[in-house]
Amino acid sequence: MFGTLASGDIETARLRRNLGVTRNLGFSCGGFEDLGMRLEDDNMKPREEDDGEHVAEETASFEIQQQMQKLVVGYALTSKKKKSFLQPKLELMARRKGICFVAIDLNRPLSEQGPFDVVLHKLLGKEWQEVIEDYQQTHPEVTVLDPPSSIQRIYNRQSMLQGMADLKLSDCSGSMFVPKQMVVLKDSASSADKVVEAGLKFPLVAKPLWIDGTAKSHQLFLAYDRRSLAELDPPLVLQEFVNHGGVMFKVFVVGDIIKVVRRFSLPNISNCDKAKVEGAFKFPRVSSSAASADNADLDPSVAELPPKSFLEALVKELRTLLGLRLFNIDMIREHGSKNVFYVIDVNYFPGYGKMPDYEQVFVDFFQNLAQARHKKRHCK
């Protein structure tokens, strides 16, 4: 009634049963479909089983599974970040390459979980920072993406861009600057004189000093005059506005991999506009994928991407300066220039779901980490 299993099917079923046993031992990653298909194609013949052979089969299956499971990535992400980043396509592509994502239980000590090859995280708070720092000290063999001390620098817009203007780029196909800026810790109204003393010119982009994960920390305003500063809530950073043709470049960095997309930004502001407009105006959210300018009919001098060699040189320096592997920079080209660029913002572990082919980029990145770990182990 149920038919008879072919010899290859019997052996495949047995191995799959054994793999199920090893999963109960703590290896819950997928990625064994291809193995089963290969065994079926090989038409392996069934063998007589005894207790010793059964144990040997389980041991062999366990070893095969360990070989296929190349990298275990423990992740600690907010529900929003998990939803946007751990898309089914990414998990499937990663699983086929032996990369497994495992959620970190925040209610249990991190040292009792795993073992992990990589810890991927983006959580705020001093308590979590201490957990990761302690874990790094006791598990130096684990790659932590990224060090909390480096991430904290990015969460403060005062320290975020420090040191960038001093970078010595070997490539001469472009030059990089940061806008003039100053910090206002309290009493925005009385800061007008300090703005003038600092040599900043209106209009000014006003940004919250701290990036704390809330929507408010990403609210930006454009202050056209001295009186408009009174409308703003400190602490904040005032950054000189640079005309850039209404286009911003978001440069995504994943290890050594660089991807660039265009976003619509604020249009140029003329002297006539400055004379007519007063007050502080809220920015539209220019970083969203809905603001994409990649397929728009734009002036080539505005839309042309930064030179590849320039970006590679810049990102190489920034990885060292920031101590990060997962970040993006917001960059603009000074209007009327060929390749004079300003870095205006940096984000840690940004919305990679908005980056083209991000799934393949991250699979390649994690594979590179796995290969590096393999070489390191065999060089000892």
Mean pLDDT of the chain: 82
Residues 374 and 326 in one domain: no
Q: Is 265 annotated as a binding residue?
A: yes
pLDDT band with cut points at 50, 70 and 90 for residue 213: confident
Q: Is 3 annotated as a binding residue?
A: no
Tens of pLDDT, residue by residue over 217-276, are 888 999 998 889 988 999 999 999 999 999 999 999 999 999 999 999 988 998 877 777
CA distance from start to end of the chain: 58
Would 16 be classed as within a structural domain?
A: no
Would 20 be classed as within a structural domain?
A: no
Q: Is 247 annotated as a binding residue?
A: yes
Domain hosting 280: range is 157-348
Q: Is the pTM of this model over 0.85?
A: no
Q: Is the pLDDT of residue 5 over 60?
A: no
Would 175 be classed as within a structural domain?
A: yes
Residues 331 and 199 in one domain: yes
Q: Is 244 annotated as a binding residue?
A: yes
Q: Is 107 annotated as a binding residue?
A: no
Q: Is 243 annotated as a binding residue?
A: yes
Number of domains into which the chain is organized: 2
Q: Is 367 annotated as a binding residue?
A: no
Q: Is 157 annotated as a binding residue?
A: yes
Q: Is 242 annotated as a binding residue?
A: yes
Q: Is 347 annotated as a binding residue?
A: yes
Q: Is 139 annotated as a binding residue?
A: no
Q: Is 245 annotated as a binding residue?
A: yes
Q: Is 27 annotated as a binding residue?
A: no
Residue 201's pLDDT is 92
Strands 247-254 and 221-223: unpaired
Tens of pLDDT, residue by residue over 70-116, are 899 999 999 999 999 999 999 999 999 999 999 999 999 999 999 99
pLDDT band with cut points at 50, 70 and 90 for residue 166: confident
Residue 4's pLDDT is 38
Tens of pLDDT, residue by residue over 324-371, are 999 999 999 999 998 999 999 999 999 999 899 999 999 999 999 998
Residues 230 and 103 in one domain: no
Cβ atoms of 115 and 121 closer than 8 Å = no
Q: Is 122 annotated as a binding residue?
A: yes
| CATH classification at residue 261 | 3.30.470.20
Q: Is 248 annotated as a binding residue?
A: yes
Q: What does the angle CA 354 – CA 360 – CA 140 come to, to the nearest 5 degrees? A: 100
Residue 218's pLDDT is 85
Residues 185 and 115 in one domain: no
Residues 374 and 323 in one domain: no
